[in-house]
Structure 1
Amino acid sequence: MGQITLKNVSKSFGATTIIPDIDLEIEDGEFVVFVGPSGCGKSTLLRLIAGLEDTSGGTILIDGRDVTGEAPAKRKLAMVFQSYALYPHMTVARNIAFPLKMAGESPDVIEKKVADAARVLNLTNYLERRPGQLSGGQRQRVAIGRAIVRQPSAFLFDEPLSNLDAALRGTMRLEISELHNQLKTTMIYVTHDQVEAMTMADKIVVLNAGNIEQVGSPLELYRSPRNLFVAGFIGSPRMNLIEGKTAAEHGAKTVGIRPEHLSVSTTEGAWKATVGVAEHLGSDTFLHVHSDGVGPLTVRADGEIGAHHGDTVWLTPDPSKIHRFGADGIALQ
């Protein structure tokens, strides 16, 4: 079991409030991602759940049991950090086995659990190597293996892929997602990368200055952001946000349209625009344009489009995909 409940949880350092007051329900077996910009409180919230930070107020329940005042070791949680924190003089097998040895498990149990974890993580052929002989992705898998053998109620990941290059991050995203499918264990994953959040999560928690802005599935947040912060943070490239006359025409202070919801023509359309930078990425081309009376826009176009710097194009937003926001930044119905 791995149901985690936060009731009125807050955290302050002296007079500075980091987490004002949070309520959150994480169901057993869910993959939940905390996402937000640097300094939004996502790692602090994870550390509160882990017991690595004391709460200033509120209650944390794990499977209905109040663990607010309990030490980390008693919460049956396993944490994987950005730093691999492996012992360089130990083999992969001994690194994975270390928490079991410290817990006093028998050699037979340790051997079986290490072998099972290594099989799940494709590390069987590397058990006798030392960390210095492994790639960054393999080292991270060893760190995850050390967590798996403890058979925790939930895994807590604190930006575990930040030290990897782009290709390895993509691979490890898939591996962690597949691991969740195999283990069916609750996972809470912290990242500032909304692409990681969108591709991995069952449920995303968007944080801003310690507050939860919105909770929902990736598609819920993409299709129906509840405010300007979520609209601008979720989606890559980010949503175009437009004010002035164009917004007023739609009865709003601000309107949003995603780059993929703007059609492009060289002959006609709603908004005339001039191409600045064209990023040709193969399957897609991102056009960064300026339209008089509308402002700067990003457009996601077909990869074969022949637009270049200085070209004139015409853009037409999909009327069913326009998001409207009031003066308070909250989405209008």
Structure 2
Amino acid sequence: MTALSLENISKSFGDVQVLRNIDLVVEPEEFVVFVGPSGCGKSTLLRVIAGLEDASAGTVRIGGRDVTRTPPAKRGIAMVFQSYALYPHLDVEGNMALGLKQAGESRAVIAERIATAARMLSLEPYLKRRPSELSGGQRQRVAIGRAIVRKPDLFLFDEPLSNLDAALRMATRVEIARIHRELGTAMIYVTHDQTEAMTLANRIVILRDGRIEQVGSPMALYNDPDNLFVAGFLGAPSMNFLPAGRLGAPGATVGIRPEHLRLATEGPLAGTITHVERLGADTNLLVTLGSGETLTVRLFGQHPQQVGDAVALAFDAASAYSFDAEGQRIRF
């Protein structure tokens, strides 16, 4: 039995169609991340799964049940939002218990589930504190704990780390991954941050303009993109693109990842360094070619190059990607 099945899902707001014929199957215990540029439809798709938006067409199944017209509270889901959405007048324990009380669970069950969630999230010292007495990271852990205690069939996360600083984002990301391993429950996670997508997902769903561009494991998408959009979207710094004519080849667009370019005494590409990013473990060079294109070169470690230096660049032909005039991958 699948955790989630989306069959031909479409969604329109008036004359504006934001989701177009979405088909997707999520297996039990999978961690699936929706990612794409702003306006691609990822949050709308999550809201359709949750029942917060009605699909204009298509079928939503959770755990094998058709829930297309089922209210959110009866879908067997738990959702964690970007905003913590905690009740300020309740303490941590009260926030986690409220949904269970409304569902009619016994005091013993509520106490047991809260104790388990608090232990998983290291919230035991804070159970009697109100949200105003917690840090942002602690509040988000409470929101996750509130979802855990419901024991849903499916977890839904809508950009839950966006309000946290970089250090807390990383720590909370690690916690979410650990919780997924411990619970073994399917999770759908929406983010605009490709680092979150790459580090959390078993599979990534890349959306653009309301359509699925490609679905696959993080490394499969990174190493074997179907089209120019996917190739350019995944990767930081993003893939470099050049007309094939710059390399003496006919036709297509050529893509080269920054880490596949290297400095050489001579090479097929030559230009001037126009910017240097020294990151400690890596050095990024922006090199503007004589033809006007700017390429990013990612070098491991620390390097002495300066703005204004003339450099030649080389790469292995096997590491380059080719795309046709419509942006589709050419595989040889």
Please confirm whether the aligned pair reaches a TM-score higher than 0.5, indicating the same fold. yes
SS of alignment partner, residue 246 of structure 2: helix
RMSD: 1.3
The aligned residue for residue 194 of structure 2 is: 194
Under a length normalisation based on structure 2, what TM-score does the superposition of the two structures give? 0.97
Check conservation: 2:32, 2:205, Cα contact below 8 A.
yes
Measure the CA separation in 2 of the matches of 1:171 and 1:291.
40
Runs of 4+ in 1 over 3 A off after TM superposition: none
**1:274 shift after superposition:** 0.8
Check conservation: 1:242, 1:294, Cα contact below 8 A.
no
Check conservation: 1:289, 1:297, Cα contact below 8 A.
yes
Larger deviation, residues 54-63 vs 33-42: 54-63
Q: Deviations over 1:43-80 (max 9, x none)?
A: 00000001110010011111221111111111100000
The aligned residue for residue 183 of structure 2 is: 183
Check conservation: 1:81, 1:160, Cα contact below 8 A.
yes
Check conservation: 1:77, 1:156, Cα contact below 8 A.
yes
SS of alignment partner, residue 152 of structure 1: coil
The aligned residue for residue 95 of structure 2 is: 95
The aligned residue for residue 39 of structure 1 is: 39
**1:247 shift after superposition:** 5.9
Larger deviation, residues 100-109 vs 43-52: 100-109
Q: Deviations over 1:138-181 (max 9, x none)?
A: 10000000000000001000000111111111111111111111
The aligned residue for residue 29 of structure 1 is: 29
**1:240 shift after superposition:** 0.3
The aligned residue for residue 65 of structure 2 is: 65
Matched, 1:268 2:251: no
The aligned residue for residue 77 of structure 1 is: 77
1:1-333 to structure 2, matched below 5 A, reads 3-243=3-243, 245-246=245-246, 249=249, 251-265=250-264, 267-293=265-291, 295-333=293-331
**1:302 shift after superposition:** 2.6
Q: Deviations over 1:225-276 (max 9, x none)?
A: 1011101100111000111513661x442110000011113x3333222111
**1:135 shift after superposition:** 1.1
Check conservation: 2:2, 2:25, Cα contact below 8 A.
no
Gaps of 5+ in 1: none
Corresponding pairs, count: 331
Under a length normalisation based on structure 1, what TM-score does the superposition of the two structures give? 0.97
Check conservation: 1:245, 1:293, Cα contact below 8 A.
no
Measure the CA separation in 1 of the matches of 2:104 and 2:31.
31
